[in-house]
Amino acid sequence: MVVVVLVVAVAVGVYAHKMSTRKNETEKDTSPLRSLMLTRQDIPDATDITWPTGTEQMSICYADSTLDATISQTPKTSSIERIETGSASVTEALVLNINEPSPGSQARWLRDAVTDCDGITSAQPYLWPSSPTPSSGQDVSMTITLLDPAGLPDGAFGFHQTATATRATTVNCDILYAPVMHDDQRGIIMVRTAVPDDGTPAPDITDLLTTALHRADATLDPAQLTPPAPSPTTSPTP
């Protein structure tokens, strides 16, 4: 299983696939924000932790590029963690101290991007959500459906993606986003699971979010998803 933790700030960008670099977990104690992220102890049978330098392609939804461009322009508020446990994976993103034009605007942009992805499909092998990618010549199909809000914590939103290929194991992904508050800082947490359809147990995405909130000392902040009321206008005095 793989767990990825991101700390990001949201903005619109283009899809990017960035190679990750492996670093020792002991760096967690000295690197910015890493003490606020998931640990091996949070993921059963975790075997390895890596710290990529950027987000990888996580789905066929353009929310990935929104998230990628959000990945903090400032390292002090951005970090990515990947925890591996065999063939499955989880991804988490934590956004702190977001630079945004108005309170909550980044979370709302991300929510809208996720909503727009409901029902989209792709047959592009390079968008395969895990490694290894299917070999050339295979028929690939990926489809997204939104997660039912009724089964999610207040303010959380996300989607399920199924990826199939003619000669590869089906991979199921759940990606969940939530606006949060850490002290007086607005943020975003994203958790992602990618699990092959081979009997590997899938971590519960809402349980992962709960653990990520605890590690980050953060609380859900659904108020970020409500646009601020327009400023009242006054008529000129005659």
- DSSP secondary structure letter of residue 71: S
- What pLDDT sits at residue 194? 86
- What pLDDT sits at residue 1? 43
The three-class DSSP label of residue 163 is strand
Neighbours of 120 (CB within 10 A): 16
- What pLDDT sits at residue 7? 38
Closest CA to 178 of 186, 167, 166: 186
- What pLDDT sits at residue 212? 95
Alpha-carbon separation of residue 157 from 86, 91, 115, 221 (angstroms): 27, 15, 9, 12
- What pLDDT sits at residue 70? 59
Are residues 25 and 38 in contact, defined by beta-carbon separation less than 8 angstroms? no
- What pLDDT sits at residue 181? 94
| Spans in the chain with pLDDT lower than 50 | 1-30
- What pLDDT sits at residue 216? 94
- What pLDDT sits at residue 62? 86
Give the gyration radius of the chain's Cα atoms. Answer: 18
User: Per-residue DSSP letters for 1-56?
Assistant: -EEEEEE-----------------GGGGGTSTTGGGS--GGGSTT--EEE--SSPP
